[in-house]
Amino acid sequence: MEQKFKRDITSLEGIFTFIEQFISSNNIAPSHLYPVQLVIEELFTNILKYQSGGKSDVVVHLEKSDNKLIIRLRDFDSEPFDLTKSEEVNTNEYIQQKKPGGLGIHLVKQMVDSLDYEYNNRTSTITLTKHLEM
Amino acid sequence: MFHVEHGTEGTIVLTGRLDASQADKAKSVFDNITESKVIDLKDLEYISSLGLGILFSTQIRLKESGHQLKLINMNDHIRDVFKYTSFDKMFEIE
């Protein structure tokens, strides 16, 4: 199941509804709704922030495979930005430094089981997997 | 939707979903807090990193003048998010 979304903050509401429909129609426990919405919001807003020159829509793809949820975001007009290589956030140091920011990707990494990035012909593909308890 | 209301005894009540599209609304309220406040999250369903950043910045600013935010009635999902970011060490949470 996938859908295109305009690269604009106002798309978030539609993205949340799309995720809710997917979770519901695939009999996935409602407890997964919050983390899935959170990781997709963080990745989508990251695209808006760091790929602001891009013109294309962003495709959100959701798929249930065995006991796994596969989440994929594709941005067809982007510069390379490999999230998997972003610096690890030490939250204790972060608090001591008293500087907000950079938490989104940290949260994504905490909430999924794998995070992959591919870049080809100006297209960035971010793929996450999350195990679903039986 | 996301709403901020003033409850009884000076409590601030957050309701709904504090996602990135609602962060400006939250920031305009929290930027005006100048003394210790209780923030009631009973009806807050969702918060993402931008909302967390607003709470974080407000707490840092208030602590410099001997004040702080106290968070009450947090749901389990939001509690997880606070744990993952270690923000549970920064706030009194009840």
What is the rounded average pLDDT of the residues B75-87?
A: 94
Number of structural domains, chain A?
1
- C-beta neighbour count of B59 within 10 angstroms: 23
Topology at the third CATH level for domain B2-93: Transcription Regulator spoIIAA (3.30.750)
Q: What is the pLDDT of residues B56-77, one digit of tens each?
A: 999 999 999 999 999 999 999 9
What range does the domain containing A106 cover?
2-131
A95/B46 CB distance under 8 A: no
Q: Which amino acid is at A111?
A: M
- Measured between CA atoms, how close is A34 to chain B, in angstroms? 7
A42/B46 CB distance under 8 A: no
- Measured between CA atoms, how close is B86 to chain A, in angstroms? 6
Instruction: Give the E-state strand segments of A6-109 in sequence order.
Output: 58-65, 68-75
What are the C-alpha distances in Å from A104 to residues A1, A59, A83, B9?
Answer: 25, 19, 11, 34
List of chain A residues whose C-beta atoms are within 8 Å of the C-beta of residue B77: 31, 34-35
Q: The whole model's pTM is what?
A: 0.93
What are the start-end ranges of the H helices in B4-75?
A: 23-30, 49-63
Q: What is the pLDDT of residues B21-68, one digit of tens each?
A: 999 999 999 999 999 999 999 999 999 999 999 999 999 999 999 999
List of chain A residues whose C-beta atoms are within 8 Å of the C-beta of residue B50: 45
Nearest to A75, CA basis, from A62, A57, A61, A63: A57
Per-residue pLDDT 10s for chain A (134 aa) are 999 999 999 999 999 999 999 999 999 999 999 999 999 999 999 999 988 888 999 999 999 998 999 999 999 999 998 888 877 777 777 777 666 667 899 999 999 999 999 999 999 999 999 999 75
